[in-house]
Amino acid sequence: MDDKGLEDAAILLMSLGEEEAAQVFKHLGPKEVQKLGETIAKLKVIPRERVEAVLDQFTETAEKQHILVPDTDEYVKSVLKKALGEDKANLLIDRILQGSDISGIESLKWMDAGSVAELLRNEHPQIVAAILVHLDPDHASGILGQFTERQRGEVMLRIATLEGIQPTALKDLNEVLFKALAGGDKVRKSSLGGVQAAASIINLMGSGMDAAVLESIRGHDIDLAQKIMDKMFVFDDVAKLDDRSIQTVLREVASETLVVALKGAQPEVRDKILNNMSSRAAAAMREDLESRGPMRLSEVEAQQREILKTVRRLADEGQIALSGGGDDAFV
């Protein structure tokens, strides 16, 4: 969702009043709550015309999309099977319909990376791996950033070789987390993990940790390290996206994020992006880049990671196709 979309959502929630807005927040994930909360806090004075426009747009959209589904579980199963096919759908259906079964692990999504790392620091790497594959890649990478280099390597090795988690093992783990975090019940199964999960997490590490983790994995298994590298998508790979995909990404990225990210980008990446902007927008971006003084590498890498998150989300949604470090395309 772009900045305008966030503001529209924030305005709509504020229009509902505190009680109703609180009910909506209960159905959102941690990241959505944080983004909307930050946006609401920034909104000071909102013109009446803007509020009315948002409400009109919501009413129009709601009227078009309103449907009644008597059995939502069956509806989800039917739609996913038609869209993805039997095999892929079954992998997702368990995770969607069993969400309440891993409430202990789900609770970690609401905790900052440092707190989760402190909770897991003394656990066996296999246990840490089993937990991290349930979290978003950027959250997992932040948690691993709190560990020692040796711990990171051991955990990522296990994530990359993880082909599934036994129900009994995950149940025991979840019960421990449930007692510690005051939440959770029981667990059936998980099919998470693998090379793609490892690549997604390493992608978002940065600051040299990514190279160190790959080197650690390479020391255990050269072929596995290469498979992970083939699935990784780094900022330089943006230049390999087709023009349509670049334009789709640009619609989702804030101008400030883009200009900082391009400050440290390779010339081919910068040219690829600028060539997919209007002449006026490209000229303004070039002027902004030239006027910026030296920037910290950490700031540039942070904004590049933000763009990579957007690229990954769009790829997962099927809006763009990626081509990573190897020749194989993946989405």
> Are 184 and 104 in contact, with CB atoms under 8 Å apart?
yes
* pLDDT score of 193: 64
Find the mean pLDDT for residues 266-286.
91
In terms of pLDDT, which residue wins out, 159 or 110? 159
Average pLDDT, integer, range 5-19: 84
The pLDDT score that the predictor gives to residue 273 is 93
Looking at residue 291, its pLDDT comes to: 87
Rg for the chain, CA atoms, rounded: 22
Q: For the chain, which domains are there?
A: 3-65 (no CATH), 98-231 (1.10.220.30), 235-324 (1.10.220.30)
The residue among 247 and 127 whose pLDDT is bigger is 247
Q: What is the pLDDT of residue 188?
A: 33
Distance CA 246, CA 252 (A): 10
What's the mean pLDDT in 230-249? 85
Residues 238, 272: contact at Cβ < 8 Å? yes
Which pTM value belongs to this model?
A: 0.40
* pLDDT higher than threshold 50 for residue 232: yes
What pLDDT, on the 0 to 100 scale, is given for residue 41? 80
pLDDT of residue 200: 76
Query: If pLDDT is split at 50, 70 and 90, which confidence band does 60 have?
Result: confident
Asked whether residue 220 carries a pLDDT value surpassing 90, the answer given is: no
Residue 231 and residue 156 in contact, taking contact as beta carbons nearer than 8 Å: no
State yes or no: pLDDT of 5 exceeds 50. Answer: yes
CB 201, CB 159: distance < 8 Å: yes
Rounded (5°) CA angle 159-304-191: 20
- The average pLDDT across 112-126 equals 83
Highest mean pLDDT (candidates 188-197, 302-311, 312-321): 302-311
Q: What is the mean predicted confidence (pLDDT) over 231-238?
A: 80
Q: What distance in Å separates the CA atoms of residue 184 and residue 198, rounded to the nearest whole number?
A: 26
Please tell me the distance from the alpha carbon of residue 289 to that of residue 287, in angstroms, as a whole number. 5
Q: What tens digit of pLDDT does each residue of 149-194 get? A: 888 888 999 888 887 776 666 677 777 676 655 433 333 334 456 7
What pLDDT is stored for residue 108 in this prediction? 80
Which single residue is written with the structure tokens 């993805």? Answer: 84
Q: What is the mean pLDDT of residues 289-300?
A: 85
Task: For the chain, count helices (H), then strands (E).
Answer: 20, 2
